[in-house]
Structure 1
């Protein structure tokens, strides 16, 4: 998110021995499939190595948490708006057939001046597209920092996330950057994006929301 100014293994027949030795609870079994994350620069490893980004760390954590991890496709890029995502999502769905679509979007739209009606309409359209494909949906929100809060866009976006998630019955994490945005040491020099060191904290914010959808 370039914030102004400046995403099915074949089942084998169980043998009696395998039935007598279930997997430990710490390494749960889950359905395989693709997870599609559609986001902006908060999820695109902005100005840090891609392998250090929280989405790559999420894949590593899921790989260790389940015997059948899904593949996470990260379709995030800096500056992406919901209008951009609406143009891209149909082709992404066709290409990847995701069972879960994670939307980390909205801040660029709000900061660029989109009104509440447009924000709600575009988020609803994205969710409708995702659900029509048969995928589950999760929304990761962003609390716009005070320095970028023009015309109360932070409050507007916060209300839009809550309203749309409730109306569309989707999982919502209100702020992916909770406990990070207010700590300058965890931010790049733009005062907005998390450093490489802070990526694990971003993941820890997202994990309680995403874990039940990824490995249960």
Structure 2
């Protein structure tokens, strides 16, 4: 939903509630956990530059509460530093690079200031051809650039276990650095640095980070995102 649609919804809500003398929207959380409900404050928040996280279950925070996902933790870091940005979590469990490319247009109704691309892990686990994954990631990046040339793009690198053979694993790992160089975008070398493979930091499936693991992922992302803000 674009910010203009949000404004219309809140304007309509105020019109409906005018008879009661009350005009307040859903509670929003500020740094420190304080809630604010006025329409004016919500619209101001919606007008902040957008940071869009576009990814799969890792971004969505699979198996955890919404506020435990690393994009939500990034919003906390932003608020704590008093930066005027808002985060949207565009993570979808099971997403591949192909399905991500297909659903991208819906998320580009509003210009992001920063676009964080976290896809490819499911491709690797399914053994999808590395060339196809590379092409889809480039397609996503180029579509975002074409829509909003001023956007900052941060590509999250991913690695996979050698289930599909070492040759495939090495080739998969290499595509992120290649794409970052060829498309001139910023790169997080490995999103799950210090988290992948540690049973204490992952859910029983061994793939998705726990709340503690997500906090470490957020710290990794923040290291590369903060200089762009």
Root-mean-square deviation (Å): 1.7
Identify the residue that residue 113 of structure 2 maps to in structure 1. 99
| Bigger RCO (CA 8 Å, 6+ sep) | 1
CA distance, structure 2, for counterparts of residue 55 and residue 142 of structure 1 = 17
CA distances 1:153-208 after superposition (whole Å, capped 9, x unpaired): 43222111111110000011121111111321111101111111222111111111
TM-score computed with the length of structure 2 as normaliser: 0.74
> Any residues of structure 2 matched to 1:200-211 within 5 Å, and which?
200-211=215-226
The structure with the largest alpha-carbon Rg is: 2
Deviations 1:101-124 (A, max 9, x none): 110001111221221221211111
Q: How many positions carry a matched residue from both structures?
A: 181
1:133 matched to 2:147? The reply is yes
* Separation of aligned partners in 2, 1:38 and 1:120: 16
Q: Distance in 2 between matches of 1:45 and 1:123?
A: 21
How far the C-alpha of 1:59 sits from its partner, in A, is 0.5
Match of 2:75 among 59, 78, 82: 59
Higher helix share: 2
Q: Secondary structure at the match of 2:173?
A: helix
Residue of structure 2 equivalent to 1:143: 159
- Between stretches 110-119 and 161-170, larger displacement belongs to 110-119
Deviation string 1:52-93 (CA, Å, 9 cap, x unpaired) is 11110100101112342x111111011101111111111210
Gaps of 5+ in 1: 1-7, 9-30
Q: Which residue of 1 aligns with 2:227?
A: 212
Whole-angstrom distance in 1 between the partners of 2:186 and 2:83: 24
| Matching of residues 20-169 of structure 1 within 5 Å | 32-68=48-84, 70-94=85-109, 96-134=110-148, 135-146=151-162, 149-152=163-166, 153-169=168-184
Q: Which runs of 4+ in 1 moved over 6 A?
A: none
Shift of 1:151: 3.0
TM-superposed deviation, 1:32: 4.0
Distance in 1 between residues matched to 2:187 and 2:103, nearest whole Å: 22
Gaps of 5+ in 2: 4-46
Match of 2:197 in 1: 182
Q: Tell me the distance in 2 between the aligned counterparts of 1:172 and 1:48.
A: 26
Structure 2 CA distance for aligned equivalents of residues 63 and 144 of structure 1: 33
Distance 1:118 1:204, change over 3 A: same
